[in-house]
Each structure stands twice: as C-alpha cells, then as structure tokens.
C-alpha cells in the first residue's frame, strides 16, 4: 500500500479520534456538574442534559470529517485508488483544523457549559443564557469544520478525483 | 401583535368582602397584585403557617404513595390537561380537604413507622447472625467465672480444631493441667469455642489463645442462645407482619389518591391567596389592592367587580417610571416562540416584542439544521397528531407541539431540497435489496455534501437577510419612538456598506460554472446569484464608498465634539466590518449542522447493510435503522434547537433588542392536577 493512503487514513483517524476525545472529556466534565444538580433536584434533568450534550457535537463534526475524507478519496466504497505521499499529506493537513480545534473547543465549551449548570441550579429560568454562553464557544468548532470541508472539497477538485 | 398594553389597577372594597374578592381574582387569574406594603419584614398572613404545614404534609404523603403504589402513566400523559372544575364541584370537593390532610398525616406516620421497622429489622438480623455460631451452647453466652472455674468464649480465624488449640496451650504452658476446650461451631472463616480452666490459670490460657488470634465474644445472651434466637425470630416475624399491614394500609390509602391531589392543589391555591392577601393595605373598614392587568382584561374585570361586589375599581395608565410587567400576545405561528423570547429576556420598556419578527427565520433555520425530511416528517406527524387528537391540551404543551410541528414541516422542506430522507435510505434500499442503483428521492435543489460551496453561499445570503431584517427592526423601533432620523442613520449606511462589500466576500466562495446535470432549481438559484453578483460587482465600489462615507458621517452623531463624532464614525466602520464578517460566517452552522445530520444518517444506513447475505442484511438493517436514526435524530434535534436559538439571540437580537422586561405573574392558583381557572 502506498504511503498516501496511510496519510489519508491517519487524517481521518485524527479528526474523528481527537474530536471524539475532546467530546468525551467535555461531556464527562459537564455530566459531573450536572449530576450534582440532579442529585438535589431531579426535575432539572432536561435542562442540564442540553448543556451536557453541547460539547458532544465536536465528536460528531470529527466523525463527519473522517467520513467525508474517506468517501471523497474513494477509500470508502472501494475501487482502484492510488495517492502519492504528497497528496496524502495534503488530505491529512485538511483534516487537522477539525482534529485540533475539535479537541480543544470541546473541552473549553464544556467548561462554559459546566459553569452554566450552576446557572440552572440557582436560576432555572435563565437556562437559555447558560446555553448561549456555551454555544458561543462552538462557533470555532464550526469554523474549523468549515475549513476542513472546504479544504477537502478543494483537494478533490484539484486532484481531479471526482 | 406584540406586547399587550398593560394597565394599572387600583381596587378599594369593604373589608368584609375581601375573601370573596380575592377568591374571585384568583379564579380569573388575570391580575398581578403589587406588594404595596412598606419594606418591612413580610408579615405572615393569618393561617399561612398552618396551610404551609398542611400542604407539605399532603405533598410528602403523595411522594410516599408514589413509592408504594407508583402511578403508571402512559407516554401520552403529558398531553392530558388538568381536570377542570366548576365552582360547585370545587366547593363540594373543598369540604374533603381536612379529611385529606388527616389521611396525609396518617400516611406519613405509617411511612415513619416503616422506616423505624426497617432499622429495627437490621438490628435484629445482626443479632441473629451473631447468635447463630453459639446456638449449640446450652448456657449463657458470655465469659466469666463460677468462682473456681473460669470460662472464655470467643473465636479464632482461620478455623482450627480442638486438638490444635489444646496442643498449642500445652506447648506454651506445659504446667497447666486443667484446661479444656469445647468447640460449638466452625465454618470456613472461623471457629467458635469456649475454653475452661481454673481461675488462677486464666491469664496464661488467654495469652496462649491470643497468640493464635483469639477474639473474645461479646456478651450475647444471659440465658441460653437458643431461647434468645427464638425470641429474635419472633420479633422479626412480628415486624414482617406489621410491615405487610402497613403496606396494605398504604395501598388502601393510595385508592384515595385523588382526594390528596385535590387537597394539594386546593391548599396550594389557599397559600397563594393568603400570601396575596398580605399585600393589601387596610383601614378598619376597607382594603386596597394594587396591581396590573392587560388592558382588555382590566376593563372587563372592573365591570365584573363593580357589578358583583361593593368595590370601586380604577383602571389607569401606569406611571412612566413604574416597572410594568410584560404580557406577550402573538398569533398562531409566533405564539409558540414566546417561550424562546422569554428564555432570553422579555422586552424592556423601549423594546418591541421580537417574537413576531424572528418567527419566519426561526422555523427556516431550524429546518435547515435538522435538514432530514424523514426526521421532519416524524416530528410533524407526532406533534400534528397530538394537536389533532388532544385538542384540550394545556396551553404550554399545545404551544410546544405547535412549535415542533412547524419546525418539522420546515425540516421536511429542507430535507426534500437536500434529498435527505432518513439519509439516503431510498437509494440504499433500491441498491441493496432490489439491486437497482437509482435514487427514488433525488434532491430538489442540491446535495449539501457534494455541493458544499453553493449551499454555503445560500447560508450566507440567508444570514445576511436575517441580519438586515434585524437592522430594519432597529429602524422600526426608532420610528416607533419618534426618532425617524435615527431610523435612517441606523439602517441605510449599514445596508450600503454591507451590500458594497458583499460581492467581494461572495467572490471568494462563488464558482464560475456549474455541473451540466445540476437540478433545475439549483441552476435557477445559481443563475440569479450570478446575475446579481455580476451586476452588483460593477457598481459595488460606489455603493461601498457611499456607505462608508455615511457611516463615518453619522455613526458618531451622539458625540458632542467634532473629534468624538469622527472617532465614533471610524470606530463604527471597524465594528461594521469585524462584526458583520463574524456574524455572516456564523451562519455556516446552517450548512455544518445540516450536513452532520445527513452524513451520519447515511452512515447508519451503510452500517445496516454491511452483511452481503440478503436475509442477514434485512435482519440487521431494521434494528440498526431504528436505533441509529433515533440516536441521530435525538442529538441533532438538540443541536438544531440550541443553534437556532443562538442565531436569534446572538446575531439577530443584538441588532435591535435590549430585553430586561419583567414577566407578568398573575395572581392565580398554580395547580398540578386540577384547574380552578375560569374565563373572565
């Protein structure tokens, strides 16, 4: 197998893996704060659950990028495919924004969301604001996702794959 | 529709009618009562403490019954409304409240007894377990002396036998002759025995045994252990019998649950009434209540009160500086979104109600982010069905259903545009099960995954429209407050500048040509976009310059000095560029979240059809389809909801909305099971 395919798969693995790790850490962090609130008042479960799910999206974005990488490069779906190592590295680079930003933004979003759990505990009516604080952090994951998608799109066009 | 006009109400009536008037007001639930007392410690109304105590008793009793006899609620229970009661029915039931409180207290005392019994049971069980090893002893289980002979009871771990013990003692202290050991029981962990010796030999025997790890037994029984065990067993049996009795009593009490539920609601209502009674001012003969109500309610209320009671009611415009509560009133489409506005902040004095203006984009964006027609159809069918079948739902529930119904419809629309029906399930089924590689449900517009750029541009254009709509709202609010010049300066320069820069921005993303097999709708959009883009591109520099000049000239107009005006203007230019760039890019989430739903749905379909054996494929496909799409729907539903709110709160509201209004909290009975409210 050529090195190119290895790099492409490495990129997909990093995008799904790092983002997933970030989301796992993030949801765990918020979950711990949320469990504290629910132990006092189980009726707040729905509100804190939304906060816990917020940092889970990075993992999904990472998965999205991994799948797009594998399907754009035809690794998923089979066929006779060949990539030079330079091409492979280019795809790897395209995956990096999602991998790196996905990891860090999930953790930082979780911190904002965990603080938001405090808002839900004390002022349940203000939970919309708690959600907004955490959702602001996600913007950067979305921008990274966008950059990765655009780069993947551009590469498949440039290499004439599609 | 928007914010309702709220009027100030002042009511004076004879003290003798106070209770009736308060009860009347509570039932109608249209007036908020102000606390006009001086800022002193709130006086507890007459009977407030007792009512509070009764209420807690009833609530705790209901919680206790939930544990013993949980009420099984069907999934649709939350669609059921509270039970409505007429005046006569209410009065009839109200007679049973005292009885219900008594029942509640009985339930609580039974519950306390259960707790005591459980603790007692644990004590008895422990005693039973410690007695069991000594059950063969036919004398009191404790160490002591007869006067000549001493005896030690205890155990040694790990288990051993009589011979080993005697051998050890003999080896350590060969001079001791009168030593005997009787083993009562032995199990895999320890051996329980008694050691006998002369009084004077005791210290040596004890020392020798301790070397083996001897543990002295506690004083268990002054009579024989068998008698003691029998007594313990009798106590346990009695406890169990009493527990069954209590359980039956609680189950019987659970039959009268509805009387407790009514009492909980009635006592809660009485408590609110007492609290509000305390807000009135008194003289010896009359009392005064002040509050707010929506204008149409206030006028009706005045008429009714003056006809039915000896009351004088004055309805007037609230004073300028009063913190008037906000009542929102919107039409069928917008009313469900009042909650969303409320979650941010209700409109303040200078604000318009943003609910109506955000309605169209709310549903539009929600659909774009969930973006799967199959999911949208599920949501729309579930909520639409609920709306049709359960017409008497509580208002709040009805609004939620309406909101998700409309969001669902929008999702169907966008799903059809992107060609996503449970991902690509149509294509997958045709290919995997019928062997024909065709897509029965092709996109009406385009596939978001392969045509990212064009979809992205559409998202930015919609985002820009959303932002401009917000700026227009700002202008409208300026006009409403009598500042038409501000309306012009707040809107036109921004529009010109952003329209001037837009062709340059979009040029970064726009494509020169489109694929030959593009959908007709896609080609149509593309042609319009290209035409506008090209047309604007020829004049955009002039528009941009005009816009910039206007911004610099007008944005700093509130500054006093010329330098301040110029500085304010230049700062506004910087803000405009950085702000709008960030704002517009933020709408990329419309694409990203939509694509996430579609692609993960496709992955679920792919996973389901992995096996090559057709039968195995079908067996695997169905559960994977159901579980996978349920999970995908759940997580993307939350995502779509959160990010639609965010686009409204952060991008849209920031253009014109301040918030900070106080919610209208009418004096009413906040009940859980029954509804006491009557229309005015």
CATH code of residue B176: 3.30.70.2750
SS3 at position B293: strand
Smallest Cβ distance to A53: which of B452, B456, B635?
B635
To test the contact with chain B by mutation, choose from A23, A64, A77 the residue with the greatest count of B C-beta atoms within 10 A, namely A64
Q: Is B549 exposed, middle or buried (0-12, 13-18, 19+ CB in 10 A)?
A: middle
Q: Quick one: pLDDT at residue A162?
A: 60
Residue B617 has pLDDT above 70, yes or no: yes
Task: Answer whether B596 sits within 8 Å of A127, measured CB to CB.
Answer: no
Inside any domain, residue B61:
no
CB burial string A57-73: b at 16+ within 10 A, e below: bbbbbbbbbbbbbbbbb
Q: Provide mean pLDDT across the span B174-202.
A: 85
Domain closes at, from B203, B218, B233: B218
The string of pLDDT tens digits covering residues B399-441 is: 999 999 999 999 999 999 999 999 999 999 999 889 888 899 9
Inspect the interface and report whether the beta carbons of A129 and B344 lie closer than 8 Å. Answer: yes
- The percentage of residues in chain B with a pLDDT greater than 70, rounded to a whole number, is 98
B649 located within any domain:
yes
Asked if the model's pLDDT at residue B200 lies above 90, the reply is no
**Residue B209: domain span:** 143-218
Asked if A132 is an interface residue toward chain B (Cβ–Cβ < 8 A), one would say yes
Q: Which residue of B has its CA nearest to A120?
A: B343
* Domain annotation covers residue A80: yes
Q: For residue B555, which of B493, B647, B478, B642 has the smallest C-alpha distance?
A: B493
Q: What is the pLDDT of residue B1?
A: 46
What backbone torsions phi and psi does residue B517 show, to the nearest 5 degrees?
Answer: -95, 25
Stretch (H or E) spanning A102:
helix A85-122
Return the number of other C-beta atoms located less than 10 Å from residue B357's C-beta. Answer: 22
Residue A162 lies in a domain: no
Structure tokens at B142: 């404790």
* A131 contact residues in B (CB cutoff 8 A): 642, 645-646
- With CA atoms as reference, the chain B residue closest to A77 would be B606
Closest Cα in chain B, distance from residue A3 (Å): 26
- Name the phi and psi angles at B196, rounded to 5: -115, 140
Contacts of A135 in chain B (CB under 8 A): 642-643, 645-646, 650
Q: What angle do CA B348, B349, B353 make, to 5 degrees?
A: 60
Using the beta-carbon criterion (under 8 Å), do A150 and B452 form an inter-chain contact? yes
Mean pLDDT of chain B: 88
Is A109 a domain residue? yes
Is a pLDDT exceeding 80 seen at residue A76?
no
Helix ranges (DSSP H) in B434-558: 452-480, 484-507, 520-554
Asked if the structure places residue B114 within a domain, the reply is: no
pLDDT band at B217 (very low <50, low <70, confident <90, very high): confident
- The whole-angstrom separation of Cα B585 and Cα B506 is 11
Structural domain includes residue A88:
yes
Shortest distance between the Cα of A85 and any Cα of chain B, in A, equals 25
> What average pLDDT does range B163-186 have in this prediction?
86
Distance CA A162, CA B429 (A): 24
For B504-521, what is each residue's pLDDT tens digit? 888 777 777 777 778 888
H or E segment and range at residue B675 = strand B674-675
* Residue B608 maps to a domain: yes
End-of-domain residue from the set B164, B185, B218: B218
Poorest-confidence range of B127-131, B475-479, B536-540? B127-131
Domain count, chain B: 2
Residue A98 included in any domain: yes
Predicted local distance difference test score (pLDDT) of residue B414: 96
Q: How far is B599 from chain A (nearest CA, A)?
A: 7
Chain A: residue whose CA lies nearest to B448: A149
Q: What is the pLDDT of residue B373?
A: 96
Q: Residue B328, CB half-sphere, CA atoms under 13 Å: how many?
A: 25
pLDDT-derived band at A1, boundaries 50, 70, 90: low
Is residue B383 scored above 70 in pLDDT? Answer: yes
The mean pLDDT value for B452-472 works out to 92
| pLDDT of amino acid B282 | 82
Distance in angstroms (rounded) separating the CA atoms of residues B96 and B98: 6
Structure tokens at B580: 């709008």
Domain end, chosen from B159, B193, B218, is at B218
Closest residue in chain A to residue B596, using alpha carbons only: A64
B450, B589, B650 ranked by CB distance to A132: nearest: B650
Residue pair A7/A85 in contact by the 8 Å Cβ criterion: yes
Sort A90 into a burial class: Cβ within 10 Å, 0-12 / 13-18 / 19+.
buried
pLDDT of residue B355: 94
Task: Provide the Cα torsion B624, B629, B631, B634; round to 10°.
Answer: -170
Domain-located, residue A77: yes
At residue A44, the pLDDT reads 81
Nearest to B343 among A61, A128, A142 (CB): A128
pLDDT (0 to 100) of residue B76: 79
Q: How large is the average pLDDT for residues B234-238? A: 93
User: In this predicted complex, what is the ipTM?
Assistant: 0.72
Compute the average pLDDT of residues B295-303: 91
Is pLDDT of B42 > 70?
A: no
B80: in domain:
no
Per-residue pLDDT band for B221 (boundaries 50, 70, 90) equals low
Q: Residue B454: CB partners within 8 Å, gap ≥ 6?
A: B446, B511, B514, B522, B525, B526
- Is A143 within 8 Å of B344 when comparing Cβ atoms? no
Q: Which of A64, A129, A132 sits opposite B599 (nearest CB)?
A: A64
Report pLDDT for A78: 67
pLDDT (mean) for B605-622: 90
CB atoms within 10 A of CB B604: 22
Angle at CA A15, nearest 5°, toward A13 and A21?
90
Query: pTM of the entire structure?
Result: 0.81
In whole angstroms, what is the distance from residue B76 CA to residue B389 CA? 11
Task: Give the helix ranges, DSSP H, for B69-96.
Answer: 87-94
B563 and B420 share one domain: yes
Is the model's pLDDT at B349 over the cut of 90? no
- How far apart, in Å, do the first and last CA atoms of chain A sit? 21
Residue A51 CB: number of other CB atoms within 10 A?
30
Q: Do B599 and A67 touch (CB under 8 A)?
A: yes
The answer to whether residue A102 is domain-embedded is: yes
Chain A residues within an 8 Å CB radius of B450: 162
Highest mean pLDDT among A1-15, A104-118, B528-542: A104-118
Q: Please, which residues bridge with residue A140 across strands?
A: none
Contact B186, B139 (CB under 8 A): no
Q: Count how many Cα atoms sit within 13 Å of the Cα of residue B171 in the half-sphere of its side chain.
A: 10
* pLDDT at residue B588, as a whole number: 84
Residues in chain A: 162
Question: What is the least distance, in Å, from the CA of A145 to any CA of chain B?
Answer: 7
Specify the number of domains making up chain A.
1
Tell me: cis bond preceding B158? Omega within 30 of 0 counts.
yes
pLDDT over threshold 90, residue B46: no
Do A61 and B592 count as a contact with CB atoms less than 8 A apart? yes
């Amino acid at each position: 197998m050529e090195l190119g395919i290895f790099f492409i798969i490495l990129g997909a693995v990093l995008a799904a893996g790092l983002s997933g790790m970030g989301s796992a850490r993030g949801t765990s962090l918020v979950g711990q704060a949320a469990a504290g609130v629910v132990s006092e008042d189980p009726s707040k479960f729905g509100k804190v659950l939304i906060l816990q799910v917020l940092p889970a999206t990075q993992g999904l974005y990472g998965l999205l990028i991994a799948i797009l990488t594998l399907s754009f490069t035809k690794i998923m779906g089979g066929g006779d495919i060949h990539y030079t190592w330079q091409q492979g590295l280019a795809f790897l680079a395209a995956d990096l924004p999602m991998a790196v930003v996905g990891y860090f933004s999930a953790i930082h979003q979780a911190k904002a969301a965990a603080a938001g759990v405090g808002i839900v505990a004390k002022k349940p009516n203000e939970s919309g604001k708690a959600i907004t604080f955490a959702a602001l952090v996600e913007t950067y994951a979305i921008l990274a996702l966008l950059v990765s998608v655009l780069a993947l799109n551009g590469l498949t066009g440039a290499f004439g794959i599609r | 529709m928007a914010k309702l006009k709220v009027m100030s109400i002042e009511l004076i009536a004879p003290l003798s009618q106070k209770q009736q008037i308060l009860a009347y007001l509570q039932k109608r639930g249209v007036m908020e009562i102000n606390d006009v007392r001086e800022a002193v410690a709130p006086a507890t109304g007459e009977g407030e403490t007792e009512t509070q105590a009764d209420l807690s008793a009833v609530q705790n009793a209901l919680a206790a019954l939930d544990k013993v006899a949980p009420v099984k609620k069907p999934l649709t229970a939350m669609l059921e409304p509270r039970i409505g009661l007429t005046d006569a029915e209410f009065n009839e039931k109200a007679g049973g409240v005292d009885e219900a409180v008594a029942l509640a207290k009985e339930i609580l005392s039974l519950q306390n007894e259960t707790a005591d019994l459980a603790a007692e049971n644990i004590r008895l069980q422990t005693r039973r377990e410690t007695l069991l090893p000594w059950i063969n002893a036919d004398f009191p289980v404790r160490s002591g002396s007869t006067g000549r002979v001493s005896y030690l009871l205890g155990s040694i771990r790990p288990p051993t036998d009589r011979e080993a013990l005697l051998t050890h003692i003999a080896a350590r202290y060969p001079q001791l002759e009168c030593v005997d050991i009787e083993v009562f029981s032995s199990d895999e962990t320890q051996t329980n025995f008694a050691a006998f010796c002369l009084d004077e030999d005791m210290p040596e025997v004890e020392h020798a045994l301790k070397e083996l790890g001897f543990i002295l037994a506690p004083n268990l029984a002054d009579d024989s252990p068998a008698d003691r065990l029998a007594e313990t067993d009798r106590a346990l049996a009695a406890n169990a019998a009493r527990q069954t009795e209590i359980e039956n009593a609680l189950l019987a009490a659970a039959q009268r649950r509805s009387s407790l539920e009514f009492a909980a609601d009635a006592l809660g209502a009485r408590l609110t009434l007492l609290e509000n009674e305390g807000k009135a001012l008194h003289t010896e003969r009359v009392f005064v209540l002040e509050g707010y109500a929506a204008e149409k309610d206030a006028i009706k209320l005045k008429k009714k009160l003056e006809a039915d009671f000896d009351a004088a009611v004055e309805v007037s415009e609230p004073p300028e500086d009063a913190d008037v509560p906000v009542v929102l009133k919107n039409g069928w489409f917008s009313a469900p979104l009042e909650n969303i506005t409320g979650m941010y902040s209700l409109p303040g004095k200078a604000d318009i109600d943003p609910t109506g203006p955000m309605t169209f984009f709310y549903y539009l964006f929600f659909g774009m982010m969930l973006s799967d027609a199959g999911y949208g159809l599920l949501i729309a069918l579930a909520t639409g069905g609920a709306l049709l079948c359960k017409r008497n739902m509580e208002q709040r529930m009805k609004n939620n259903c309406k909101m998700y119904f409309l969001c669902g419809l929008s999702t169907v629309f966008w799903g059809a545009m992107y060609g996503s029906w449970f991902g690509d399930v149509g294509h997958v089924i045709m290919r995997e099960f019928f062997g024909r590689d065709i897509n029965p449900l092709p996109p009406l517009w385009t596939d978001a995954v392969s045509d990212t750029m064009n979809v992205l541009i559409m998202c930015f254009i919609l985002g820009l429209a959303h932002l401009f709509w917000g700026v227009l709202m700002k202008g409208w609010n300026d006009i409403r407050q009598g500042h038409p010049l501000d309306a012009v300066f707040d809107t036109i320069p921004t529009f010109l500048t952003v329209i001037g820069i837009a062709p340059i921005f979009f040029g970064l993303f726009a494509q020169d040509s489109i694929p030959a097999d593009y959908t007709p709708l896609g080609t149509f959009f593309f042609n319009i976009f290209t035409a506008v883009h090209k047309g604007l591109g020829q004049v955009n520099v002039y528009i941009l310059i005009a816009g910039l000049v206007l911004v610099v000239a007008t944005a700093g107009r509130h500054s006093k000095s010329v330098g301040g005006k110029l500085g304010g203007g230049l700062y506004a230019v910087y803000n405009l560029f950085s702000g709008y760039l960030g704002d517009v890019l933020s709408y990329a989430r419309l694409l990203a979240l939509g694509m996430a739903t579609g692609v993960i749905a496709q992955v679920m379909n792919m996973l389901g059809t992995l096996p090559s054996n057709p039968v195995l494929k079908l067996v695997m496909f169905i559960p994977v389809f159901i579980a996978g799409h349920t999970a995908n729907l759940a997580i993307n539903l939350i995502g779509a909801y959160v990010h639609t709110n965010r686009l409204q709160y952060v991008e849209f509201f920031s253009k014109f909305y301040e918030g900070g209004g106080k919610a209208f909290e009418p004096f009413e009975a906040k009940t859980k099971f029954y509804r006491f409210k009557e229309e005015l």
